[in-house]
Structure 1
Amino acid sequence: MHSGTTDRTLLSPARRRADRARLADEVVDVLVIGGGVTGAGAALDAASRGLTVALLEARDFAAGTSSRSSKLIHGGLRYLEQFAFPLVHEALHERARLVQTIAPHLVRPLPFLLPLTSPVWQRAYFGAGVALYDVLGAAFTSHRPIPGHRHLSRTATLEAFPGLRRDVVRGAIRYWDAQVDDARHTLAVVRTAAGYGARVLSSARVTGLLRDGGDGDGSAADAAVVGVEVADLTDGSSFTVRARSVVAATGVWSDDIGTMLGDAAPDLRVRASKGVHLVVPRSAIDGGSLAAAGGTSDGLILRTPTSVLFVIPWNEQWIVGTTDTPWKLDRDHPAASSADIAYLLDQVNRVLVRPITTEQILGVYAGLRPLLAGESDDTSRLSREHAVVTPVPGLVLVAGGKYTTYRVMAEDAVDAAVAGLPGVPASRTAHLPLVGAHRWTEVRDRAAQLAAAAGVPEAAVERLLHRHGDRTADVLALAADDPGLAQPLPGAPGYLAAEVVHAVTAEGALHLDDVLTRRTRISIETAHRGVETAARVAELMARELGWDEERTTREVAHYTARVDAERESQRMPDDRTADAARLGAADVRAGVASPRRGELVPQEDLRVATGGSGAGPAR
């Protein structure tokens, strides 16, 4: 079995080249399409069982839904009203594992207030639901890292969250869930899989399936999948990867795999539901602090006519979200419209003393949830459970689910993929710490000592610990070797220059957007959305990736155009006009293989060549 050693987790440019070269000569046991959290989880599950594994992602790891969630690890309190007890039970089980063992540096308990706005019946009704939530979650830990719920009076509620309107709120119930930096967590899963020997490639778009065999009557509908065709978007080359089994964890792109299969397409449909979130500064909302939780501010969960709304403390900001509406347009770059923003502001301002204004919004992001399609067109009622199907031999599709249950989805998918392989052990990921978690208890309280030794501010190290865990020393070592890397980034003082170099040399970042949007969250945490930071980040990346001046300038131009297009889309009145505005900026990955002809085409010609958005047949 492979060991998860330190050096093997590093996703350096040299590691990518080596993995790319080896894949052309190998037949891997399991090939995973899709570098979101479920695909990353499947790669880790298979690799940690001792199997040979490849993971292919068309853009960047977590570039889709897995970097655009509400950033919560939760059981789904509202699903209790739908009587989805097994789903909530499973999710709370996974929450406990993530908080305690798998990623305690990235997943932290977080208190929420459920404000009560109606007479006694509401306290009784919601109280019963939260009590059941606690019961379903309590079975998984003896030392209970997540506290139980409490009922608060109106006075106690307003002390805890002064920004709530006294004339609206009659009290609250405080309960606990957990928070995660979704993109960094997904990246940690990818790196851990690499540590167990998985070959992992981003900017590697699957353009077709390799088929072999059939039933002998001229039909290829039952022909086995034995690999995939791939376009390498870093250099324009194409190659094939052969595999004993292929797992497609492609989220809202799942139906594209069915299109590749033709007549063998499974009777499984995934609908995309758009979730929009706003990021505002802490000063925009008067939230108190909870001394019993080490100064952690309470979040809010609010009932809306169609779903729930969260107000979530996030570093020096608040995240307000989310919407839940059908989306049938470009899946790579879902756009938030002015109508989405107005809806969120209207809902949250109903309970706040000081209404949030559009001028206070720092960032806006939109993600697409992959929901298993049912008879109803109402996406808020579609299933959050997942499905695993094997439409033809050699191919497994996993779809649906929610971020919190990614590990279960991955385990189920790999179980299906290895059903025909003898001697494969059971999954071991339930107790497997991710990169950064192994020595977390040794470093979590050592910010002051680490800062003094490295000569950087203690606050900077505190932030690093909750991004890198016990691998914080790797970032600080870069700053020690080059004092310039110990400096904060312009326009983003919460991040050090060393984190940019680390993103390239250890975390697989290939483009400016990868760093500003996912390795850091500068794109949503600053009013300039990363534009003021872009030149310095590009300069740091250029040194490590060998970019010349033209390439460096092009990366900055692409990023600036993306920000401009997003701002423009957010001024548009509806989905269609917002989508058109967002597509005004081309993707930075310069080319993609056409699914019809197989040749590379420039990104700006992509909509013409493919008759679509440029998403390609699979991620």
Structure 2
Amino acid sequence: MSTERVGATQRLGRLDAEERARAWQRLGSENFDLVVIGGGIVGAGVVLDAVTRGLRVALVESRDLASGTSSRSSKLFHGGLRYLEQLEFGLVREALAERELMLTRLAPHLVKPVSFLYPLTKRIWERPYTAAGLVLYDTMGGARSVPGQKHLSRAGALRMAPGIKRSALVGGIRYYDAQADDARHTMMVARTAAHYGAVVRTSTKVVGFLREADRISGVRVRDMEDGAETEIAAAAVVNCTGVWTDELQNLSGSRGRFRVRASKGVHIVVPRDRIVSETGIILRTEKSVLFVIPWRNHWIIGTTDTDWNLDLAHPSATRHDIDYLLEHVNNVLATPLTHDDIEGVYAGLRPLLAGESEETSKLSREHAVARVAPGLVAIAGGKYTTYRVMAADAVDAVSVDLPGRIQESITDKVPLLGADGYHALVNQADRLASEHGVHPYRVRHLLDRYGALVHEVLGLAKDRPELLRPVDAAPDYLRAEVVYAASHEGALHLEDVLARRTRISIEYPHRGVDCARQVAELISDVLGWDEATIQREVEVYTARVDAERDSQQQPDDHAADARRSAAPEARAGLTTTG
């Protein structure tokens, strides 16, 4: 192992300015087994799978880790209960096994159980029909480390969720799934890969492919911060770009083996006190299902499922999307929600494999892996929950382009950074709180975001005790967390911190604008920003929020896209369609 790789390992996957400079030097000077394109959960999963098999691997991402679909999901690690109706038993079994791994071994600090109430609306037949599905679900692994289904009368269901209209149900069934902060989880997968020696570099866009005769032999990349370019030599390349899969295949000059369609999913966020319930709720709609998901002091309500053929980087929620969600959830709520209750809105794109059906809700959630050319493998489709299986399949597929025999995947045995020691620290939360002079609930909040890395976060306040104070306009977060996002977690811009390292952009009605200046000043020392840069970052972020608010008042996708796409980019090298 080279000195550089030993250094990366000793730094526990720290992604900072020093590591970023070292990564650029390595990209241009080393020969890699694999280059992975795309910093969403699939790309992060592939790079972790590859590096823990002993391969020399690099990941490049044109924007930020999880900046696309992987920060805009329903935040669930779910077994896919509704796929039982579609008879996709293998997909459900696989998802439940992955959920169990996350809850118990790989990421117990990030992935938590969450309960849902399924309101029954039909007498006689619906309860046994639904119960049969849940029995199968529980038997396939759905009740391994979480409680199994519980049947409730109408009175029992209303005691659990008093916010539901009495007329909206005749009874209910409670079951469990799991949830996680998707952007944080993705980032921790990438950091874990860096811990084991992988190069992980954001703001690094693939602008071309290298060839030797008829095979792909690497990529040419451009730094989106300063415009510098370099070539990365690799035995093989894996395209993990989700909804950009077809675009990258075209850039490579190779004909794709499958097409990817983008399906837009919109979610809204409302305060926890606006729906009186001690459990999440799952509702049937005419097209699919609607989740009401507990999220700290909030509820996340979603999602929609419609085709999207416009700007892939910035899918926009419309007034129609938001009205759809409000209408359907208000069908069952005793106290209806209004637009004034909405704290945050976000839209993401699911990369679905194009099938024969024209309805995106019917397109396959299974994933596909294809060797589209010698030295180039593409993977798309799938679910967030099964990212680890997808990653292993992709590395297996690319093994034919690698010299020698590669090892089997072992990521089912590799806990993410922060997992080891987490449970002991939970038991020591009161002592940690006393040592650092913060409330125990703050320590528990940090443990559920950083796990055993909590010592690194709290350590930033050793000589700066003011960092243990909350962000003024976003008191759920400590100032130390903001600094840590830039010093350890690879955040390069204000947007990275407000939208992904924290979730301030969707958890507060001001959507981060009211604390933008303070957050920019907190990270300015870490990132070397002068006053002009601080001001630009605040202006760009404010313009982003204004454009999103404006787009959410528009009646259709085209109008919303025009408003959102007009906002400037934080990364200087990106165009609005980048």
Output the TM-score relative to the length of structure 2. 0.98
The code of the aligned residue for 2:313 comes to D
Partner of 1:7: 11
Quick check: 1:490 aligned with 2:472? yes
Quick check: 1:537 aligned with 2:527? no
Match of 1:353 among 334, 342, 346: 334
Q: Deviations over 1:513-555 (max 9, x none)?
A: 0000000000000010000111011001111111111111000
Match of 1:287 among 277, 285, 289: 277
Q: CA RMSD in A?
A: 1.2
Partner of 1:235: 226
Partner of 2:184: 184
Are 2:49 and 2:391, in contact at CA under 8 Å, matched by a contact in 1?
Answer: yes
Partner of 1:563: 545
Partner of 1:72: 76
Match of 1:591, SS state, is coil
C-alpha distance in 2 between matches for 1:137 and 1:198: 33
C-alpha distance in 2 between matches for 1:21 and 1:367: 34
C-alpha distance in 1 between matches for 2:10 and 2:147: 34
Partner of 1:461: 443
Are 2:257 and 2:370, in contact at CA under 8 Å, matched by a contact in 1?
Answer: no
The code of the aligned residue for 1:102 comes to L
Match of 1:305, SS state, is coil
Partner of 1:153: 153
The code of the aligned residue for 1:234 comes to E
Are 2:540 and 2:569, in contact at CA under 8 Å, matched by a contact in 1?
Answer: yes
Quick check: 1:579 aligned with 2:542? no
Match of 2:515, SS state, is helix
Are 1:106 and 1:181, in contact at CA under 8 Å, matched by a contact in 2?
Answer: yes
Quick check: 1:510 aligned with 2:492? yes
Match of 1:377, SS state, is coil
Quick check: 1:126 aligned with 2:130? yes
Quick check: 1:438 aligned with 2:420? yes
Q: Deviations over 1:134-180 (max 9, x none)?
A: 11115xx9xx3211111111111000000011012111111110011
Match of 2:35 among 31, 34, 41: 31
Partner of 1:272: 262
- Structure 1 ranges of 4+ moved more than 6 A: 1-4
Please list, as runs of the form range in 1=range in 2, the aligned pairs for 1:54-93 lying within 5 A after superposition. Answer: 54-93=58-97
Are 1:492 and 1:533, in contact at CA under 8 Å, matched by a contact in 2?
Answer: yes
Instruction: In structure 1, list runs of 5 or more residues that go unmatched.
Output: 214-222, 289-297, 593-605, 607-612
C-alpha distance in 1 between matches for 2:198 and 2:9: 13
C-alpha distance in 2 between matches for 1:344 and 1:528: 21
Match of 1:480, SS state, is coil
Are 2:28 and 2:232, in contact at CA under 8 Å, matched by a contact in 1?
Answer: yes
The code of the aligned residue for 2:122 comes to S
Quick check: 1:47 aligned with 2:51? yes
Quick check: 1:399 aligned with 2:380? yes
Partner of 2:306: 325
Please list, as runs of the form range in 1=range in 2, the aligned pairs for 1:325-404 lying within 5 A after superposition. Answer: 325-404=306-385
Partner of 2:463: 481
Are 1:8 and 1:197, in contact at CA under 8 Å, matched by a contact in 2?
Answer: no
C-alpha distance in 2 between matches for 1:5 and 1:136: 38
Partner of 1:136: 140
Match of 1:367, SS state, is strand
Per the TM alignment, residue 5 of structure 1 is displaced from its structure 2 partner at its CA by 4.6
Match of 1:28, SS state, is strand
What percentage of aligned pairs have identical amino acids?
A: 55
Match of 1:415, SS state, is helix
C-alpha distance in 1 between matches for 2:497 and 2:428: 26
Match of 1:95 among 90, 93, 99: 99
The code of the aligned residue for 2:573 comes to G
Are 1:311 and 1:319, in contact at CA under 8 Å, matched by a contact in 2?
Answer: yes
C-alpha distance in 2 between matches for 1:483 and 1:267: 56
Quick check: 1:244 aligned with 2:225? no
Per the TM alignment, residue 261 of structure 1 is displaced from its structure 2 partner at its CA by 3.3
Partner of 2:577: 614
Are 1:480 and 1:486, in contact at CA under 8 Å, matched by a contact in 2?
Answer: no
C-alpha distance in 2 between matches for 1:523 and 1:507: 18
Per the TM alignment, residue 104 of structure 1 is displaced from its structure 2 partner at its CA by 0.5
More moved, 406-415 vs 475-484: 475-484
Match of 1:104 among 81, 97, 108: 108
Partner of 1:199: 199
Per the TM alignment, residue 8 of structure 1 is displaced from its structure 2 partner at its CA by 3.5
Are 2:312 and 2:577, in contact at CA under 8 Å, matched by a contact in 1?
Answer: no
Per the TM alignment, residue 6 of structure 1 is displaced from its structure 2 partner at its CA by 5.3
The code of the aligned residue for 1:26 comes to E
C-alpha distance in 1 between matches for 2:439 and 2:84: 45
More moved, 512-521 vs 470-479: 470-479
C-alpha distance in 1 between matches for 2:54 and 2:573: 35
